[in-house]
A and B are shown apart, each in its own frame.
Chain A
Amino acid sequence: MVVGNQKEVIIETNNLRKDFNKTVAVDGLDLSVYKGEVFGLVGPDGAGKTTTLRLLAAIMDPTKGSATVDGFDTVRSPESIKERIGYMAQQFSLYRDLSVNENLNFFADVFGVSGKVRKERIERLLTFARLTEFRKRRAGQLSGGMQKKLGLACTLIHEPEILYLDEPTTGVDPVSRREFWDILTNLHVQGVTIVVSTPYMDEAERCSRIGLMYEGKLIECDTPEAIRQRVPGKVIQVWPSDRIQARDILRNTPTIHEVQSYGEQLHVFVDEIESGIKLIEETLANANIQVKAIRQVEPRVEEAFISLIRRRVAAGSA
């Protein structure tokens, strides 16, 4: 699947590395982000997602390697990069005792947006973030979801072409999250390049491409569909009468790769569907466990992700 019509690279890293004392936070990263795409960075805590975003935002210099953003080197031309990007950190600091309006005005000052342009832009951003009716409310009094939207609006005050968002929806409820992503989709349609880190796998599904980071390295980078297909074998969903017992038995069956629990159901990873279903049915029948339902399901990004990481960990400890 192509990403848009153009495939122009706008962000590129070359063997990018960042050490903090003895810890290698980012370890030889080779990453390309295409202009206009929504690129999702996913990975466990400490995988290097935040450090990567900071390196790309030219906030810190790499220990080794290099990165260019819109043609500018992050070490040599940080100022040119800062003009072109908007960066919303995980702990993005709004002024809690200032109103929505005052926060936007403050960021307009910082980025040198003034006069008529400023006025128009603030109005547009308020509408865009659906915050117009809350413009006089103090930021500290907004709900979590609204604070995130205000943070995004402040990040957009200088109309950056590239947007970095570090876990922008953590702790936000599903309804506000959906709204936040609708706003991101609007920006995407307008041509803004978005790099977003997230621990939510359903959000990863909304990206044009995702990069899975693990221990500072990019271990997979592709479209959500392609990543889903990278799960070894097929997934069978089983609804057994005794889930816990069924799980333990299936986990110890040699040709079954993996068993994951979903409520009353199990997702069983096998090489092939027909023989897999037969094997599961027979194995459970031998243990006097009834099968209430069994069918093939498509793996989700979350399952693909956990499966890929678990294989990494297994390979590392072997």
Chain B
Amino acid sequence: MSETQSNGSHNLFAIEVEQLTKDFGSFRAVDHVSFTVERGQIFGFLGPNGSGKTTTIRMLLGLLRPSDGEAIVLGTDVRRNPEKVRPRLGYMSQRFSLYDDLTVVENLRFYGRTYGLKNDRLRKRIQFALEMANLKGRERERTRNLSGGWRQRLALGAAILHEPDLVFLDEPTAGVDPVSRRAFWDLLYEISAQGVTIFVTTHYMDEAEHCETLAFIHDGHIIARGSPQYIKDTMMHGQVLELTPDDPTLAMGALTRAKEAGQLPVEEIALYGAQIHIVAPDVEHYQGAINEVLNQSNVDPGTISVIAPSLEDVFISCIRSEEE
């Protein structure tokens, strides 16, 4: 959106993090994390609750001082010069932080003024945000009366009102329905196409698939990085076997009991509608044992095939292997 720096490696990266660490007393929330985010990318930052996602974002925004390590944001050391970089950053926090008792346009005006927009520019940017968020005609509605999807788009509009080069979105779609979520992602693609870098956290693995690059964080450590495809191709510990038994419920019961009795030492058995997914290292090795368990319960295993893991499978597998 605004000018970009033209010299050196700063041109390539919107964020460069080196050994970034944050301690709260004796608790280490972020533990020597290093990663880079290319300019113009949609970067997904995934991890369970309490893994250090929000703390990392707060350090990158210059709101929280790192205990150790370095964070270069848009070419500036945020630790030394937070006030220099902050005007170029946008931030949409978990609960959207809109004022419920203000109208749509009042919320936008408030955020615009906070970022120092005035007069003509403020008016133009508010118009832009209303159009982008598809909120034309709802300017005078109170924010509390908007549904989740509208509020979300309004919050995004507020976060990019001042034309930031880098936007942080912390769980922007929690509790928003799939159709609104899709519309929201279409908006993110539009913004990204204009050269804005987007840093987003989410619990939705289907959304993670929308990101160009991902990093998984767990207990303050980065445990996997790369494009969704790369992560799926290389980070899965074990394989996924899919069965289509004639009676999935009965089959599920028999397999779970066998696992609990130690007869089927696989990592995971999960029911997906009419299919059963079994995760294990070298899963084909277990085919004989699986067939035997199902035969004993008079269930026909149906087709058995090794399938590609979903991103969620990989995520859970990475975290479980960390926890072991």
A contact set with B: CB distance below 8 Å: 1-2, 4-5, 36, 42-47, 143-145, 167, 170-178, 181-182, 185-186, 188-189, 199-202, 205-209, 223-225, 243-244, 247, 260-264, 300, 302, 305-306, 309-310
Within 156-203 of B, Cβ neighbours of A (below 8 Å) are at 174-182, 185-186, 189, 193, 203
Going nearest first, the 6 A-B pairs with the smallest beta carbon separation are: A44-B177, A173-B48, A189-B253, A1-B274, A244-B193, A224-B273
Tell whether, in the assembled complex, residue B177 and residue A182 are in contact, meaning their CB atoms are under 8 Å apart: no
Tell whether, in the assembled complex, residue B176 and residue A174 are in contact, meaning their CB atoms are under 8 Å apart: no
Tell whether, in the assembled complex, residue A189 and residue B252 are in contact, meaning their CB atoms are under 8 Å apart: yes
Partner of B272, one of A36, A199, A206: A206
Tell whether, in the assembled complex, residue B178 and residue A305 are in contact, meaning their CB atoms are under 8 Å apart: yes
Q: Which residues of A contact B174 (CB under 8 A)?
A: 170-171
Known contacts A175-B319, A261-B210; A201/B178 CB under 8 A: yes
Q: How far is the CA of A214 from the CA of B203 in the complex (A)?
A: 24
Q: Which residues of B contact A36 (CB under 8 A)?
A: 249
Binds A, one of B21-29, B57-65, B310-318: B310-318
Of A178, A188, A199, A262, most B-chain CB atoms within 10 Å:
A199
11 A-B pairs besides A205-B273, A262-B210 with CB distance below 8 A are: A1-B274, A167-B175, A174-B205, A185-B271, A201-B178, A201-B206, A206-B272, A223-B273, A260-B182, A263-B42, A263-B227
Q: How far is the CA of A150 from the CA of B99 in the complex (A)?
A: 32
Q: How far is the CA of A175 from the CA of B193 in the complex (A)?
A: 32
Q: Which residues of A contact B212 (CB under 8 A)?
A: 263-264
Expressed in whole angstroms, the minimum distance between the Cβ of A48 and any Cβ of chain B is: 12
Q: How far is the CA of A306 from the CA of B274 in the complex (A)?
A: 22
Considering only CB atoms, which chain B residue lies closest to A186 in the complex? Answer: B256
Tell whether, in the assembled complex, residue A207 and residue B256 are in contact, meaning their CB atoms are under 8 Å apart: no
Expressed in whole angstroms, the minimum distance between the Cβ of A25 and any Cβ of chain B is: 14
Q: Which residues of B contact A209 (CB under 8 A)?
A: 273
Q: Which residues of A contact B256 (CB under 8 A)?
A: 185-186, 189
Q: Which residues of B contact A177 (CB under 8 A)?
A: 203
Tell whether, in the assembled complex, residue B274 and residue A178 are in contact, meaning their CB atoms are under 8 Å apart: no
Q: How far is the CA of A45 from the CA of B176 in the complex (A)?
A: 7
Tell whether, in the assembled complex, residue A175 and residue B189 are in contact, meaning their CB atoms are under 8 Å apart: no
Tell whether, in the assembled complex, residue B274 and residue A261 are in contact, meaning their CB atoms are under 8 Å apart: no
The answer, yes or no, to whether B228 is at the interface (CB within 8 Å) is yes
Expressed in whole angstroms, the minimum distance between the Cβ of A298 and any Cβ of chain B is: 10
Tell whether, in the assembled complex, residue A5 and residue B312 are in contact, meaning their CB atoms are under 8 Å apart: no
Q: Which residues of A contact B66 (CB under 8 A)?
A: none
The answer, yes or no, to whether B141 is at the interface (CB within 8 Å) is no
Tell whether, in the assembled complex, residue B249 and residue A4 are in contact, meaning their CB atoms are under 8 Å apart: yes
Expressed in whole angstroms, the minimum distance between the Cβ of B202 and any Cβ of chain A is: 10
B contact set with A: CB distance below 8 Å: 42, 46-50, 147-149, 174-182, 185-186, 189, 193, 203-206, 209-212, 227-228, 246-247, 249-250, 252-253, 256, 270-274, 310, 312, 315-316, 319-320
Q: Which residues of A contact B271 (CB under 8 A)?
A: 185, 188, 206
Q: What are 27 A-B residue pairs whose CB atoms fall within 8 Å in the complex?
A: A44-B178, A45-B180, A170-B174, A171-B175, A174-B46, A174-B203, A174-B316, A175-B48, A178-B316, A181-B270, A182-B270, A188-B249, A189-B256, A199-B175, A199-B177, A201-B178, A201-B206, A205-B272, A206-B271, A206-B272, A206-B273, A208-B274, A223-B274, A224-B272, A263-B212, A264-B212, A264-B227
Partner of B273, one of A47, A208, A243, A310: A208
Tell whether, in the assembled complex, residue A263 and residue B228 are in contact, meaning their CB atoms are under 8 Å apart: yes
Expressed in whole angstroms, the minimum distance between the Cβ of B188 and any Cβ of chain A is: 9
Partner of A225, one of B50, B185, B273, B320: B273
Considering only CB atoms, which chain B residue lies closest to A182 in the complex? Answer: B270
Expressed in whole angstroms, the minimum distance between the Cβ of B130 and any Cβ of chain A is: 21
Expressed in whole angstroms, the minimum distance between the Cβ of B47 and any Cβ of chain A is: 8
Q: How far is the CA of A203 from the CA of B19 in the complex (A)?
A: 36
Q: Which residues of B contact A205 (CB under 8 A)?
A: 272-273
Q: Which residues of A contact B249 (CB under 8 A)?
A: 4, 36, 188-189
Q: How far is the CA of A43 from the CA of B178 in the complex (A)?
A: 8
Q: Which residues of B contact A145 (CB under 8 A)?
A: 49
Q: How far is the CA of A143 from the CA of B177 in the complex (A)?
A: 23
Tell whether, in the assembled complex, residue B147 and residue A175 are in contact, meaning their CB atoms are under 8 Å apart: no
Q: Which residues of A contact B227 (CB under 8 A)?
A: 263-264
Expressed in whole angstroms, the minimum distance between the Cβ of B98 and any Cβ of chain A is: 16
Q: How far is the CA of A42 from the CA of B206 in the complex (A)?
A: 16
Q: Which residues of B contact A199 (CB under 8 A)?
A: 175-178, 181
Expressed in whole angstroms, the minimum distance between the Cβ of A181 and any Cβ of chain B is: 7
Q: How far is the CA of A170 from the CA of B256 in the complex (A)?
A: 26
Q: How far is the CA of A174 from the CA of B49 in the complex (A)?
A: 9
Considering only CB atoms, which chain A residue lies closest to B51 in the complex? Answer: A173
Considering only CB atoms, which chain A residue lies closest to B188 in the complex? Answer: A261
Partner of B203, one of A47, A171, A263: A171
Q: Which residues of A contact B42 (CB under 8 A)?
A: 263
Q: How far is the CA of A145 from the CA of B203 in the complex (A)?
A: 12
Q: How far is the CA of A44 from the CA of B209 in the complex (A)?
A: 21
Considering only CB atoms, which chain A residue lies closest to B148 in the complex? Answer: A45
Q: How far is the CA of A143 from the CA of B140 in the complex (A)?
A: 38
Q: How far is the CA of A132 from the CA of B210 in the complex (A)?
A: 38
Partner of B147, one of A45, A186, A202: A45
Considering only CB atoms, which chain B residue lies closest to A184 in the complex? Answer: B271
Q: Which residues of A contact B182 (CB under 8 A)?
A: 260, 306
Tell whether, in the assembled complex, residue A46 and residue B147 are in contact, meaning their CB atoms are under 8 Å apart: yes
Q: Which residues of A contact B149 (CB under 8 A)?
A: 44-45
Tell whether, in the assembled complex, residue B209 and residue A262 are in contact, meaning their CB atoms are under 8 Å apart: yes
Q: Which residues of A contact B211 (CB under 8 A)?
A: 263
Q: Which residues of A contact B181 (CB under 8 A)?
A: 199
Tell whether, in the assembled complex, residue B185 and residue A206 are in contact, meaning their CB atoms are under 8 Å apart: no
Q: Which residues of B contact A189 (CB under 8 A)?
A: 249, 252-253, 256
